Amino acid sequence: MSGSEITRLLGGWEGYRIGTVQRFEAGEKGLQAEVWIELLPLKRRRMRCSGCGRLVSKVHDIEERWIRDLPLLDTATWLLVWRRRVRCPDCGAKLEELPWVGRYSRVTKRLAESIGRLCEVASIKHVASFFGMSWWAVKAVDKQYLAEKLGPADVSNVSAIAMDEFAIQKGHRYATVIVEPYIKRVLWVGRGRSRESIRPFFELLGPEGCQAIKAVAMDMNGAYEAEVRAWCPDAAIVYDLFHVVMKYGREVIDPVRRAEAKRAEGDRQACKVIKGSRWLLLRNKRNIESQDDRIRLYDLLEANRNLMKVYVLKEDMKQLWDFRYPKAAKRFWKDWYRRAMQSGIEPLRRFAKRLKPYVPGIVAHCRHRLHTSLLEGINNKIKVIKRMAYGFRDDAYFFLKIRAAFPGIPR
Ligand SMILES: [Zn+2]
């Protein structure tokens, strides 16, 4: 077997044969040892046009391209590929389609795949250093890889969606993520959080897709509701437990805590306990694991009647999302509302009054049991993605990463 034959078998560059092979030790060309392999096209009667896919017999010209491949054994590997351009009757001069390298790609498909798979678990910086490539080159390859792997967003057969906003940069620049909640698939991500900014999603769905949507879960503060009502008039709006509890924390627990801390001003010990209590009061009771924290929560509530009231009403409010029968949920809400109004705590009364018009959206949860923890989970994952590839000036790439992180669980 000839040396050229062995290299071809190892490399598998279909349609090509090996010309010259050169090796450079570390330091001669780059930091790593490098192998340069020249690839010459085999004679073919018919070649595929990369523009339209048809078989063409005329060669327009041949040009050289440097293409990176996976390392061969211990060396960074560069291919000098003589690429043919065909003369296509439909497209004019176009590159010949090759199965192992993309049209304008500077890396082989298998290298792109390795980079893409590594970028799922490591930062761009680490992947770049592993292959001895630049940050920008790795990012470009990963972006292309994801775009090809995910394809255009598939919004067919969707009967429920959940939507939420997230910050691209702290405090400003927001984006919206729309998810199929039952299988946890990200359908769409777009810049902004206004009515107009989510409109492209509904345009993508089309009239039939909009009609198929039966339920939409969202935060009750957002601007989304009006847009959803305009496109999907028959869909039930479902308010998300996660967001309502957050709102309760901001609008009820925080002011009551501050007022109580102020009242306890002379008493340093009591003041300290109240000030450090936000976390305990907002935490799910079941998730408080340490014995010390349980005792602290107990002492805090024991010593302070108002904090006790807002805490108990928070826990009870959460039960609204557990009901299966709308009638029972409505009865529970009436009782909760009466207790809130009689509590004598102004922020709580205000919150209850504001929540009242949204109750149908909470009761709708009985019929459309959308996972309320989903949006919270996605928000956390987005934070991780931001950390792993910071310098996200490129929205399109960022959004592809989010879609790739939630491809959907098969039912
Ligand atoms: Zn063509």
24 Cα–ligand 1 center, Å: 39
pLDDT band at 290 (very low <50, low <70, confident <90, very high): confident
Least confident of 78-82, 218-222, 318-322: 218-222
154 Cα–ligand 1 center, Å: 27
Residues 6+ apart with CB under 8 A from 261: 271, 274, 275
97 Cα–ligand 1 center, Å: 10
Report pLDDT for 152. Answer: 84
* pLDDT at 391 exceeding the cut of 80: no
96 Cα–ligand 1 center, Å: 9
* pLDDT at 388 exceeding the cut of 80: no
47 Cα–ligand 1 center, Å: 10
Report pLDDT for 286. Answer: 66
Report pLDDT for 392. Answer: 60
49 Cα–ligand 1 center, Å: 5
Report pLDDT for 389. Answer: 63
Q: What is the pLDDT of residues 328-353, one digit of tens each?
A: 989 999 999 999 999 889 999 999 99
54 Cα–ligand 1 center, Å: 6
Q: What is the pLDDT of residues 121-168, one digit of tens each?
A: 888 999 999 888 899 999 999 999 999 888 888 888 899 898 888 888
83 Cα–ligand 1 center, Å: 16
Which of 21-35, 56-70, 275-289 ranks highest by mean pLDDT? Answer: 56-70
CB 145 within 8 A of CB 124: no
90 Cα–ligand 1 center, Å: 5
Long-range contacts of 245-250 (CB under 8 A, 24+ apart): 245/282, 245/314, 245/317, 245/318, 247/220, 247/221, 247/351, 248/314, 248/317, 248/351, 249/278, 249/281, 249/282
410 Cα–ligand 1 center, Å: 37
Q: What is the rounded CA–CA span in Å between residue 398 and residue 124?
A: 12
* Average pLDDT rounded to a whole number, residues 294-298: 75
Classify domain 160-240+370-405 by CATH number: 3.30.420.10
108 Cα–ligand 1 center, Å: 22
* Average pLDDT rounded to a whole number, residues 89-115: 91
386 Cα–ligand 1 center, Å: 40
Helix (H) or strand (E) holding 238: strand 236-239
* pLDDT at 313 exceeding the cut of 60: yes
Report pLDDT for 111. Answer: 95
In this structure, the number of other CB atoms found within 10 A of the CB of residue 256 comes to: 23
Residue of 254 and 386 predicted with greater confidence? 254
347 Cα–ligand 1 center, Å: 68
8 Cα–ligand 1 center, Å: 28
pLDDT band at 390 (very low <50, low <70, confident <90, very high): low
Q: Which residues pair with 188 in a beta bridge?
A: 178
